[in-house]
């Protein structure tokens, strides 16, 4: 393979990969200089000129002529007068010899290796460009097409044919994909694995929900409304705290839209995830009350040292504060940054008939009582009013533990 064919084939391949001309020339020169170093041990006294459009290559070896008896005769940039005159008979000591080196002189094997190296350099460059391209897109929404569904992840293809990964853990539990579907997600992270860029997408990240709001609510996109915090149980429920810096704008109303028009688009994208939009405030008591919506809070006690909040509600409001599967109370706790304990307010008659759980501390471990209190169960009757299945769903207690709790509490009323 001569230089013209090598350079032209490489240039065509580089252009097909959208590699700019300066980068292409730099790669060519780097590879040819590597060949020179391998054959001559150094490339310091070589001049390499490349014309990628015409496929021209000129390699010149530059050496100074010294006397045959000179001590410098063995230096890489020196040539003896006798050897110089074999190239051109009228050379004299002190002049420079510009000797043209043909590509064929490096040997066929070296030229084939150079071709493979050039192609590999372009592929490596392509990987670096892809990595940098998507690293700048981290946190942004993109659309891609499903082309393969695996057990632990879904593989997608972007518009340029690059492979993207949506792991099972980054999918909304209700997501069901088919080959050819268009999927929206955010670029979650980009990492290099064995020299190959691995682009991870996410549909469960709070940032995905934030970007959806930016797309649907112009005031959020323009910065008139700020999203202070988002917490999610993907596919089930989310709470979004918003704040407006313009008194004329109702942040909650703007995010929800006329008859829910804006938020409906977001809800559909998130597989009918229930989204509560809350007006942010620095008033912690008011913020907690809003976070526990739709439940109506009677009173609140804050323990700043332990980062715990005790919330008292009427009995008919407790289940709303806890929410289905305990999602409402968990998300409210994460939103305000405090552990929230829910307590029922009892009237005098109920006080006489019921027994607070703290009375059972000798028979039930304290951590179990605390776990029950977290879900608003602070009396014996409030626990017994639920089924075993409800307690399993609301708490992290084992079935055997719940059976023992029921036995102890029932025994109290039998006595």
Is residue 63 domain-shared with residue 14, that is, in the same domain? Answer: yes
Over range 2-15, report the average pLDDT. Answer: 77
Q: How far apart are CA 15 and CA 160, in angstroms?
A: 15
Last residue of a domain, one of 204, 229, 245: 204
Structural domain contains residue 267: no
- Asked if 234 and 272 count as a contact pair (C-beta separation under 8 A), the reply is no
> What is the chain's Cα-based Rg?
36
110 and 58 in one domain? Answer: yes
Q: What is the average pLDDT across 265-274? A: 92
DSSP 66: E
Q: Are both 340 and 363 inside the same structural domain?
A: no
Domain end residue (candidates: 119, 150, 183): 119
* 403 CB-side CA count, 13 A: 3
Are 367 and 285 in a shared domain? no
Model confidence pLDDT, tens digit, residues 206-222: 999 999 999 999 999 99
Largest CA distance in the chain: 125
Q: Is the pLDDT of residue 349 over 60?
A: no
Helical residues (DSSP H) of 183-299, grouped into ranges:
206-216, 218-221, 251-256, 261-269, 284-291
251 Cβ contact list (under 8 Å, min separation 6) = 219, 225, 242, 243, 244, 277, 279, 280
- Of the candidates 204, 234, 251, which is a domain's last residue? 204
Say whether both 95 and 18 belong to one domain.
yes
Mean pLDDT of 127-138: 91
pTM over 0.85: no
Residue position matching structure tokens 């102890």: 408
The answer to the question of residue 312 being in a domain is yes
Of 310, 357, 313, 317, residue with least CA distance to 333:
310
Place of tokens 């006080």: 351
Among 178-182, 261-265, 345-349, the minimum mean pLDDT is found in 345-349
Task: Please provide the average confidence, as pLDDT, over all residues in the chain.
Answer: 87
* Average pLDDT estimate for 313-335: 86
In a domain, 250, yes or no: no
Residue 62, domain CATH: 3.30.1480
**Which range is least confidently modeled, 133-137, 185-189, 341-345?**
341-345
The answer on pLDDT for 354 being more than 90 is: no
Q: Specify the CATH number for the domain of residue 298.
A: 3.30.300.20
- Domain shared by 304 and 369, yes or no: no
**Judging by DSSP bridges, how do beta strands 78-80 and 56-66 pair with one another?**
parallel
Instruction: Give the structural domain span for 165.
Output: 138-204
- Is residue 124 one of the residues assigned to a domain? no
* Dist CA 25 CA 7 (whole Å): 10
Q: Which two tokens stand for residue 14?
A: 């580089």
**Does 338 lie in the same domain as 310?**
yes
pLDDT at 148: 93
Please check whether residues 95 and 145 belong to one and the same domain.
no
Residue 32 Ramachandran class (φ > 0 left, ψ -120 to 50 alpha, else beta): alpha
Which segments within 67-181 are labelled E, that is strand? 78-80, 96-101, 141-149, 153-157, 163-167
* pLDDT for residue 72 is more than 70: yes
- Cα distance between residue 249 and residue 281, in whole Å: 15
* pLDDT at res. 346: 59
Q: Which one-letter DSSP state was computed for residue 239?
A: E
User: What gap in Å lies between CA 297 and CA 283, rounded to an integer?
Assistant: 15
Q: Is 50 a domain residue?
A: yes
Count of positions (residues) in the chain: 415
Note whether residue 74 is domain-resident. Answer: yes
Residue 415 has what pLDDT?
58
pLDDT for the residue numbered 230: 96
- CB count within 10 Å of CB 263 equals 19
pLDDT in tens, 385-413: 778 887 887 777 888 888 888 888 888 77
Phi/psi zone of residue 206: left (φ > 0), alpha (ψ -120 to 50 degrees), beta? alpha
**Which residue intervals of 165-296 are DSSP H helices?**
206-216, 218-221, 251-256, 261-269, 284-291
Are 330 and 387 members of one domain?
Answer: no
Q: Are residues 338 and 368 located together in one domain of the fold?
A: no
What's the structural domain count of the chain?
4
Residue 132 within any structural domain of the chain: no
**Looking at residue 158, which CATH number applies to its domain?**
2.40.50.140
Phi, psi of 410 (to 5 degrees): -65, -35
Separation of alpha carbons 157 and 108, rounded Å = 40
- Structural domain includes residue 224: no
Same domain, 103 and 195: no
Contact 229, 335 (CB under 8 A): yes
CA dist 133 and 127 (Å) reads 10
Q: Indicate if 34 and 80 belong to the same structural domain.
A: yes
Residue 115 backbone zone (phi > 0: left; psi -120 to 50: alpha; other: beta): alpha
């Amino acid at each position: 393979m001569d230089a013209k064919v090598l350079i032209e084939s490489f240039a065509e391949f580089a252009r097909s990969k959208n590699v700019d001309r300066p980068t292409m020339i730099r790669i060519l020169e780097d590879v040819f200089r590597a060949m020179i170093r391998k054959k001559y041990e150094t490339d310091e006294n070589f001049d390499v000129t490349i014309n990628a459009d015409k496929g021209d290559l000129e390699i010149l070896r530059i050496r100074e002529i010294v006397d045959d008896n000179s001590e410098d005769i063995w230096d890489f940039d020196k040539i003896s007068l006798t050897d110089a005159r074999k190239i051109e008979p009228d050379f004299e000591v002190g002049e420079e010899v510009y000797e043209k080196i043909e590509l064929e002189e490096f040997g066929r094997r070296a030229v084939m290796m150079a071709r493979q190296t050039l192609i590999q350099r372009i592929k490596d460059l392509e990987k670096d460009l892809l990595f940098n391209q998507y690293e700048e897109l981290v946190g942004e929404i993109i659309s891609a097409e499903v082309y393969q569904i695996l057990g632990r992840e879904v593989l997608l293809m972007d518009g340029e044919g690059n492979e993207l990964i949506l792991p099972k853990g980054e999918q909304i539990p209700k997501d069901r994909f088919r080959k050819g579907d268009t999927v929206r997600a955010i670029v979650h992270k980009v990492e290099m694995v064995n020299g190959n860029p691995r682009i991870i997408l996410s549909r469960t990240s709070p940032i995905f929900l934030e970007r959806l709001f930016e797309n649907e609510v112009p005031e959020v996109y323009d910065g008139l409304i700020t999203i202070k915090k988002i917490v999610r149980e993907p596919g089930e429920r989310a709470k979004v705290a918003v704040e407006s810096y313009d008194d004329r704008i109702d942040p909650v109303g703007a995010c929800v839209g006329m008859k829910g028009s804006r938020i409906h688009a977001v809800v559909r994208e998130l597989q009918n995830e229930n989204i509560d939009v809350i007006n942010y405030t620095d008033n912690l008591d008011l913020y907690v009350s809003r976070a526990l919506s739709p439940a109506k809070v009677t009173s609140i006690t804050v323990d700043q040292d332990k980062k715990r909040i005790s919330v008292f509600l009427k009995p008919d409001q407790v289940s709303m504060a806890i929410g289905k599967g305990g999602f409402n109370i968990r998300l409210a706790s994460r939103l305000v940054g405090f552990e929230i304990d829910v307590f029922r307010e009892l009237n005098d008659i109920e006080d006489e008939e019921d027994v607070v759980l703290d009375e059972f501390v000798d028979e039930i471990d304290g951590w179990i009582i605390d776990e029950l209190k977290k879900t608003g169960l602070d009396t014996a009757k409030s626990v017994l009013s639920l089924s075993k299945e409800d307690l399993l769903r609301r708490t992290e207690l084992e079935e055997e533990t719940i059976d023992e709790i029921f036995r102890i509490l029932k025994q109290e009323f039998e006595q």
